[in-house]
Copies of this chain bind each other. A is one copy, B any other.
């Protein structure tokens, strides 16, 4: 399945948007967290600044999000992870309300109740959570609903290489295979689960090979490349829409930043990320588009300008928004 011109340009622009979004967040996140503005004796204050709490950024992992989401419609469901921004952006979650949520503002997706790991956008059928391996079961549920209602809608569960060793992986793949649910399981293999290398957590080289344990196709995408992800996802999604059941896709991808912002990364070989960045998938796709005649200097500049505008607007919106009232904390436990 070849991407259309629109899909190609969308993937490129969306990757650029994600990258800028994450890099901006990396900076904004530091606001108010460093001396001398914090408690004496601290080097960093995770609870300080406009965006407190943990922050997991996905710079480098954009191909996974866009290669899959390029195939999805509004009514398809995506369940992301604790590192959710790239998925959310690729699924069409509005940047402004998403950012406002991370600023804890009342204009945020969850009126400030959820935060960075808990972005819920039912209108765009996106959700995520901070629990490793928790994306897979609810994605099965969305797929079951589609199937029971006779729709050709699909759902996608994203998860990391670390998550593939949670019991929920096994239970969900078995259930989905057994019931032929239209769900695509996409494993982002960035070689780490915090400090633990995949080789120290996973008894086989490739999680894709585990698909055989469920009698479903398992596909390994060897390169951190949007087009390769696009191909694999296209086949899997088409299969799911035809009612033939789930597919497991594993993508070898790269995490450019720390596990979370502030991660000392003591476990990482020095210079590793410099090496990884040499294969940055965004310039790679740009070069391909240029070769195909779909992009030139002016086009690239236009993309850069558009994404810069969007990102700037989103952060501005978030900053300008109001905090919820303290007593609002008591609302929304139940609808």
Contact = CB atoms under 8 A, between A and B. Distances in A.
Interface of A: 165-171, 173-175, 177-178, 200-204, 209-210, 212-216
A169 B169 CA distance: 11
Given A212-B212, A213-B212, A171 B167 contact: yes
Contacts of A177: 203-204
Nearest to A214: B203
Contacts of A215: 203-204
A113 to B, nearest CB: 29
Nearest to A246: B203
Given A201-B178, A214-B204, A167 B165 contact: no
A168 B171 CA distance: 9
16 contacts: A165-B175, A166-B171, A167-B168, A167-B170, A173-B203, A174-B203, A175-B203, A178-B202, A203-B214, A203-B215, A204-B213, A204-B214, A209-B212, A209-B213, A212-B212, A212-B213
A149 B42 CA distance: 42
Contacts of A168: 167
A213 B216 contact: no
Nearest to A245: B203
A210 B177 CA distance: 14
Q: Report the 3 A-B pairs with minimum CB-CB distance, sorted nearest first.
A: A167-B167, A170-B170, A177-B203
A197 to B, nearest CB: 12
Contacts of A212: 209, 212-213
A139 to B, nearest CB: 16
A170 B204 CA distance: 13
Contacts of A201: 178
A220 to B, nearest CB: 14
Contact of A203 (B169, B178, B200, B209): B178
A55 to B, nearest CB: 28
A252 to B, nearest CB: 18
